[in-house]
């Protein structure tokens, strides 16, 4: 019996046969990859509590079987539920789905990795809690902890998510359980309120790493705002977006704009309401400039759309609207503010206009506005995953966005996420770098740049492709690899990467990664936990 078979047998004895799977259908499902990089595990185990996670780690360690932990497996565009290398054992934590506690005075929810965005949002509604959570656009079924430990970002004033957590519980490679911050003191009253504790601050070690398995975290919630106004600014010409970035930056720096601001190109907006128009494209692999301009005119969108929200009291929101309007009047952007009242008016007008082109456009705008408002209140919506289906044969599934799963639905999707200074010229520089690469490989360039903090833009450059077409898949992967190398060389380093990029993170094996390796060797000398994940020295050897 192989080491993997012995591990699976021991896990079945501990967890129950229903929660340890190695049948062909299960292995195929977990090997599915929106990146076109299928990676077949040796099996899948689903522990139901921390004690079972500990036992699973110890069993795998005894047999020297590599273990790859996932939360719910919805890491779209960066690896889905796949492990870095074939033959690893998937440890899925979706059964650890307890909302352990809610502090209604201080606004803290303690959650496990199986708690999804939709679950926590529904819980806060049911409890009539005076708080909202931050939400991402990845859909209601995605894990909160999974995104946080990847240092993901959302939309609200709490959108820089890692800055709004405190107190981790972590299972280490030897099966011991670590509580960070003040959490290791039994009488601590602020374990989930003050992140740093006393002594070295360890929490960051367990983000974008394979040093341990995070099984609990304290998540700070945002107080419900008296007022929210959403704003949309349309930028007609590509080059005019630089002035808009420069106008918004001071408002982020001085706190006028508290939410994360998203700046998306025309395809990011168009793909919310359609998939690739094969009939109009006449066999072309991507949109021609003429067809793209035509679609833009029909949808009433510009080259770029800026989106964000204003939170606070009535007076605070009014003051922020005044400041934002004054700043953008110095640019060529056309700005409009969206409120619940304007959405109701828009819906009424759309009904009057019926099936006319104007009515369809207005209905689309109202639907977008409703989804944005929900997102800004911490109500996740799968609508913003529509771009992942751009090249999918058959378009959007009939039930979309309910149950959206790009990996299972056959979508081809690669995300490259460089970080750049919050300056208009840097946005144009990076776009100028990316555009010819996408054109060379015959792909449509989806681009979003988000003011993820006061001084940086987080870019997301999307390669959407037909995963059922081997040639198109190969082109998309080559496009990604070429652009990744060029971004690194230009100093636009990604803030997170997919599994296909781990080996490229450190071609020279610098002192940073040497230090990471020493920490890994100290915490996990046998290399059991997720070998190859954020380990460029190991990933370059195939995990």
Residues 84/31, Cβ–Cβ less than 8 Å:
no
Tell me the two tokens of residue 81.
């539920």
How many whole angstroms from its chain centre is CA 17?
33
Note the Cα 476 to chain centre separation in Å: 20
**What's the CA gap between 247 and 243, in Å, rounded?**
6
Cβ 502 vs Cβ 536: under 8 Å = yes
pLDDT for position 542: 60
User: Which residue segments constitute the domains of the chain, with CATH numbers given?
Assistant: 99-223 (3.30.465.10), 227-490 (3.40.462.10)
Reported as a single tens digit per residue, the pLDDT across 273-292 is: 899 999 999 889 899 999 99
- Please report where in the chains the tokens 């107190």 appear, as a residue: 167
How far apart CA 320 and CA 290 sit, in angstroms, is 38
pLDDT of residue 137: 87
pLDDT at position 543 is 55
For 475-513, how does the pLDDT look when each residue is reduced to its tens digit (9 = 90+)?
999 999 999 999 999 999 999 999 999 999 987 778 999
Asked if pLDDT for residue 523 goes beyond 90, the answer is: yes
Q: Do the Cβ atoms of 482 and 433 come closer than 8 Å?
A: no
For 481: left if phi > 0, alpha if psi spans -120 to 50, otherwise beta; the answer is alpha
- Return the closest-CA partner of residue 34 out of 468, 411, 391, 403: 411
Q: What is the pLDDT of residues 362-411, one digit of tens each?
A: 887 888 788 888 888 999 888 889 999 999 999 999 989 888 899 999 99
Report field, pTM of the whole predicted structure over 0.85: yes
Over residues 307-324, the mean pLDDT reads 96
């Amino acid at each position: 019996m192989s080491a993997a078979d012995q591990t699976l047998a021991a896990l079945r004895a501990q967890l129950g046969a229903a929660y340890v799977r190695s049948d062909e259908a299960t292995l195929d499902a977990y090997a599915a990859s929106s990146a076109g990089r299928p990676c077949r595990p040796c099996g899948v185990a689903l522990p139901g509590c921390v004690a079972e996670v500990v036992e699973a780690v110890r069993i795998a360690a005894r047999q020297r079987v590599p273990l790859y932990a996932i939360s719910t497996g919805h890491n779209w565009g960066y690896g889905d539920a796949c492990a870095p290398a074939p033959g690893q054992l998937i440890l899925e934590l979706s059964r650890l789905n307890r909302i352990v506690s809610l502090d209604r005075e201080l606004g803290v929810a303690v959650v496990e990795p199986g708690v999804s965005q939709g679950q926590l949002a529904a819980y806060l509604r049911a409890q009539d809690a005076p708080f909202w959570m931050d939400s991402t656009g990845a859909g209601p079924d995605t894990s909160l902890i999974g995104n946080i430990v990847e240092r993901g970002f959302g939309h609200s004033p709490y959108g820089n998510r890692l800055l709004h957590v405190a107190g981790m519980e972590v299972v280490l490679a030897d099966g011991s359980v670590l509580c960070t911050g003040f959490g290791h003191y039994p009488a601590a009253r602020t374990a989930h309120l003050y992140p740093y504790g006393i002594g070295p601050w360890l929490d960051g070690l367990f983000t974008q790493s394979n040093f341990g398995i995070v099984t609990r975290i304290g998540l700070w919630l945002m107080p419900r705002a008296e007022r929210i106004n959403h704003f949309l600014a349309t930028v007609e010409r590509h080059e005019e977006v630089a002035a808009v970035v420069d106008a918004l930056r001071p408002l982020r720096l001085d706190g006028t704009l508290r939410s994360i601001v998203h700046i998306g190109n025309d395809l990011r907006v168009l793909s919310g309401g359609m998939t690739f128009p094969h009939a109009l494209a006449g066999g072309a692999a991507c949109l021609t400039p003429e067809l793209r301009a035509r679609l833009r005119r029909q949808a009433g969108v510009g080259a770029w759309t800026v989106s964000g929200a204003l939170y606070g009291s009535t007076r605070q929101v009014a003051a922020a609207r005044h400041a934002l309007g004054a700043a953008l009047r110095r640019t060529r952007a056309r700005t409009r503010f969206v409120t619940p009242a304007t959405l109701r008016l828009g819906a009424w007008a759309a009904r009057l206009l019926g099936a006319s082109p104007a009515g369809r456009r207005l209905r689309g705008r109202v639907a977008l506005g409703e989804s944005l408002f929900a997102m800004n209140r911490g109500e996740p919506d799968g609508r913003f995953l529509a771009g992942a289906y751009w090249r999918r044969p058959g378009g959007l599934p009939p039930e979309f966005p309910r149950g959206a799963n790009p990996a299972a639905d056959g979508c081809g999707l690669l995300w490259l996420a460089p970080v750049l200074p919050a300056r208009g010229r840097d946005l144009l520089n990076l776009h100028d770098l990316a555009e010819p690469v996408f054109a060379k490989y015959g792909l449509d360039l989806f681009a979003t740049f988000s003011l993820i903090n006061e001084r940086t833009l987080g870019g997301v450059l999307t390669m959407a492709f037909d995963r059922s077409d081997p040639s198109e898949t190969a082109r998309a992967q080559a496009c990604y690899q070429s652009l990744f190398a060029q971004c690194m060389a230009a100093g636009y380093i990604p803030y997170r990467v997919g599994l296909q990029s781990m080996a490229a993170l450190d071609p020279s094996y610098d002192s940073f990664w040497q230090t990471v390796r020493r920490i890994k060797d100290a915490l996990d000398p046998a290399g059991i936990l997720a070998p190859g994940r954020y380990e460029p020295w190991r990933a370059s050897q195939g995990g």
